[in-house]
Structure 1
Amino acid sequence: MTKVFLDTDILFKLARFGLLNHLSVHPIHPDSEFSILGAAKFMLQKKLQKKPPQRGIQQVTAELTDAMQWLNSAEPSETEIEIAAAIEAHAQKHGLAIDSGESLICAMIVNNACNYAMTGDKRALTGIGKVLQESAYKELKEKFICLEQIFLCWLAKLDAIELRKAVCTERDADKSISICFSCSSPEVPSENFIAGLTSNIIFLRKNSGEALTEI
């Protein structure tokens, strides 16, 4: 079983797109077990209330209720909390954009509590790429999956037009993804989506060192 953690940022963006439940039906790894931090669902609700989706908060709330049937809620151990505090202190010292949620997920990877983490936070990925250069955190190498990689995998399995519609309806959820799907243009071939996503992934790899995995 491949244990995958979802950070709040990717929960928020996939919920806005109406694609969160696609992860359980079309996972990146076929044997994936998805988890979130216990506080994530409460933070997600606050973020959605603050920035409600075009489809309406009621519809998204119903989708989240479905998602909670397959999303495991996990809490870090005392050891992982200590590791997270050290990572956060390192991040603050070096001006890296890693918040408390990201540091906890990193700690759980370091402590072998999960295999991968999905994140939609590009600034955090850049910071994690610098943190993993420290020998104490080398387990973070190639453990992260970005939003672009998820969409690239989905394009091989799902209808490209439906994916584009989901993204473009909520284009402000992630501006770089909306650019990849050419939301400002009337009609664009799906090959352009793939090219845009691939280009973004290459750029992220350059900025995040060895944080991203190959999928």
Structure 2
Amino acid sequence: MNQSLAIDNDALLKLARYGLLNEALALFNCTSTNVSVLATAKYKLLPAKNRLQLCKDEESATRLEAFLRTSNQLDAGLAVGAGLANPDVFDTLNAVPDIDTGEALLFAVGANNSNILITTGDKRSLKALCSHDSVADISKALTGRVVSIEVLFSMLADYQFALIQERVRAKPDVDKTLKIVFGVKAPADFESVKQGFASYINDLRSKTGTLLYLPPS
């Protein structure tokens, strides 16, 4: 059975710019039809007035457009109406500082569907989710099902190290942490990269408990 993923705008943009959408989905035996993205992704990541504002280059924009055409769009009203998200859970999440509406929707859908993994680049929202009593039950429901950018790229490094390192280092402006881990002036070796990710992931785990996904050994 294929895994289902829900990806936030930040993670989606980074994967599109690096050209690693297919590689990320392959980690979970997944296709774009098993992926849910925020309905806002098209408008926020590919603004009509300047579609390259965030994507920076035509290749990334075209790649992202193609992916959005085949993935599932998550709209708050429709998701609640269709029973994908509990409206009370969504409202509770929306009331927590540092959890924006998009992340609140992803968390609400994930809390209501145990087969979905949440992929996010928003560490502030993860820390907020694990530090407010009002959402403690929601955090518990998401235990082990949140894939942070660091967890995702640590898995990608295991999957195709040379390719992932090449793509990340070719676009150092996309993510500062990833740029540092894979090597700034010269490529870092595999062990250094894995140690770098372990350090970042352990720090995030210390702030989010059991929330983060633990890849199969």
Q: TM-score, normalised by structure 1?
A: 0.83
Mean Cα deviation higher: 189-198 or 78-87: 78-87
Q: Which runs of 5+ in 1 are unaligned?
A: none
Residue 67 of structure 1, CA deviation: 1.8
CA deviation profile, 1:26-51 (whole Å, cap 9, x unmatched): 23x22572111222222221396333
In 2, Cα distance between equivalents of 1:202 and 1:74: 31
Q: Secondary structure at the match of 1:130?
A: coil
In 2, Cα distance between equivalents of 1:177 and 1:125: 19
CA deviation profile, 1:118-161 (whole Å, cap 9, x unmatched): 00112122112224784542312222001121112222221x23
Matching of residues 149-168 of structure 1 within 5 Å: 149-158=151-160, 160-168=161-169
Percent of residue pairs bearing the same amino acid type: 25
Give the letter for the 1:77 counterpart: V
Residue 112 of structure 1, CA deviation: 2.0
Q: Secondary structure at the match of 2:127?
A: helix
Mean Cα deviation higher: 113-122 or 196-205: 113-122
Q: Which runs of 5+ in 2 are unaligned?
A: none
Q: Secondary structure at the match of 1:156?
A: helix
In 1, Cα distance between equivalents of 2:157 and 2:41: 27
Q: Secondary structure at the match of 1:35?
A: strand
Matched residue, 1:59: 59
> Are 1:88 and 1:99, in contact at CA under 8 Å, matched by a contact in 2?
yes
Q: CA RMSD in A?
A: 2.4
Residue 113 of structure 1, CA deviation: 7.0
Change (3 A) 1:103 1:110: same
Task: Find the partner of 2:52 among 45, 49, 52.
Answer: 49
Q: Secondary structure at the match of 1:213?
A: coil
